[in-house]
Amino acid sequence: MKILVLTSAYPEPDDGTEVVTPTVKYFCDKWVEQGHEVLVIHNNSCFPLPFYWIPAFIRNKMESRMGHNFPVKSSRKPLSNEVAGVKVFRLPLKKIIPHGKFSKSKIDNQIKRIEDILDREQFVPGVIISHWVNPQMDLIVKLGKKYDAKTSLVFHGDCTEKNIEVFHLDEDVKELSAVGCRNEAYADYVKKRLNLQKKPFICYSGIPDYLAQKQKDKIDSLELENNLDFIYVGRLVKYKNVDVVIRALHEKYKNAATLHIVGEGAEEENLKQLSRQLNFEKNVVFHGQLSRNKVYEMMKKSYCFIMVSDNETFGMVYIEAMLAGCVTIASKAGGVDGVIVDGENGFLSKQGDVEELVKTLNRIERKSRQEITKIRKNAVLTAYGYRDSEIAKKYLDDVCNWKS
């Protein structure tokens, strides 16, 4: 099958230190392994040159507040490359106002650029998959009709009242073959808000097959750490509530626990300052950005993974932590609420609430070692069901059969 992917975010060779979510890339890589042809159109936003001259300290504040990184200057240029059999074409779309809707002329021109690439590559898509509303919704309906292809859009928390109005989502969504969301709670909301006849399918992220199989094969002989080493992995921005984790661990354990923080972001200096204010700086270790394999090895040596973000859609890092055998604490009503069943394969805590997190840590402490071992093994088995190969196959099946 020939799969055309439209996305606003995709890792590129010139990203530099910018951290770009690899979620869509992992799907594309796996589909190629499964025998499909995949072509990616990276519809990234770019801005007038002065935008890239904004001083770093202002950028940091804006990144922290918005929850995502500024694009690098090089992303203003078109780029094409092929990695692991996936052809990727970056087609920048210029705008002045971040998050603003692109003009009709820009959308029409973008469609023409995409059609030219498909003609040149002799690529007639049977399926068109898209992530994020802007600008994908304006592109996919027209492209789907031109190529008579199955079409799908996955919402990433962007089915907002503003987007519903600006992009006519309640009408245009009816033109799609399938609608997806990143977690159960958001799928319930989208179904109700857009008056869909069927609940959107859930587009989960997966974990490498070889790691999942390796952990499952030795489930009965897993050596699980029982130290007080805690770990957080993710961007250091406000909505991730890393400060809540620091405060809760300090309140609960004083200087008996160690928190390993993996990731970078605009909040890093504020978090370091908080650690110093609490006289907890020797217990909080900032590792910066690490490779996926190094992060996984750190998880296996940790006792507990904590991330209590606000309005998280779906975090693959939770599944990786569960596979590693960490006691995993996630947000109630967040992206993995439902994947994690409180007290069975992990724990749920109110997002952004220090006292609630302390209570959750107390609940864990009251469990016997045998009970905790069972929870951790249950977590490994749950994570095994989210292997890259199975998730990618299910995703494609959902797109092709959602309306049937």
| Residue-by-residue DSSP string for 22-42 | -HHHHHHHHHHHTT-EEEEEE
Q: What percent of the chain has pLDDT over 70?
A: 94
Residue 258 and residue 168 share a domain: no
Specify the number of domains making up the chain.
Answer: 2
pLDDT above 70 (res 68)? no
Residue 220 and residue 141 share a domain: no
Note the pLDDT of residue 22.
87
Average pLDDT over residues 133-149: 97
Residue 335 and residue 392 share a domain: no
Residue 350 and residue 256 share a domain: yes
Residue with tokens 């979620």: 23
Residue 309 and residue 196 share a domain: no
Q: Which of 230-268 are b and which e, b meaning 16 or more Cβ less than 10 Å from the residue's Cβ?
A: bbbbbbbbbbbbbbbbbbbbbebbeeebbbbbbbbbbbb
Helix axis angle for 268-277 and 242-253, nearest 10°, is 20
Note the pLDDT of residue 41.
99
Note the pLDDT of residue 92.
95
Note the pLDDT of residue 69.
62
Mind listing the pLDDT tens digit for each residue in 70-95? Answer: 677 778 899 999 999 999 999 999 88
Residue 395 and residue 337 share a domain: no
Residue 213 and residue 156 share a domain: no
Residue 101 and residue 68 share a domain: yes
Residue 273 and residue 140 share a domain: no
Average pLDDT over residues 324-337: 89
Range of the domain at 304: 209-384
Q: Strand order of the sheet with strand 304-306?
A: 284-288, 258-262, 229-233, 304-306, 327-331, 347-349
Note the pLDDT of residue 314.
78
pLDDT tier at 63, thresholds 50, 70, 90: low
pLDDT above 60 (res 66)? no
Residue 217 and residue 161 share a domain: no
Note the pLDDT of residue 150.
98
Mind listing the pLDDT tens digit for each residue in 359-386? Answer: 999 999 999 989 999 999 999 999 999 9
Separation between Cα atoms, residue 380 and residue 59, nearest integer Å: 39
Residue 392 and residue 280 share a domain: no
Residue 98 and residue 54 share a domain: yes
Write the Ramachandran bin of 40: left for phi over 0, alpha for psi from -120 to 50, otherwise beta: beta
Mean pLDDT score of the chain: 92
DSSP 8-state secondary structure symbol assigned to residue 215: H
Separation between Cα atoms, residue 365 and residue 73, nearest integer Å: 49
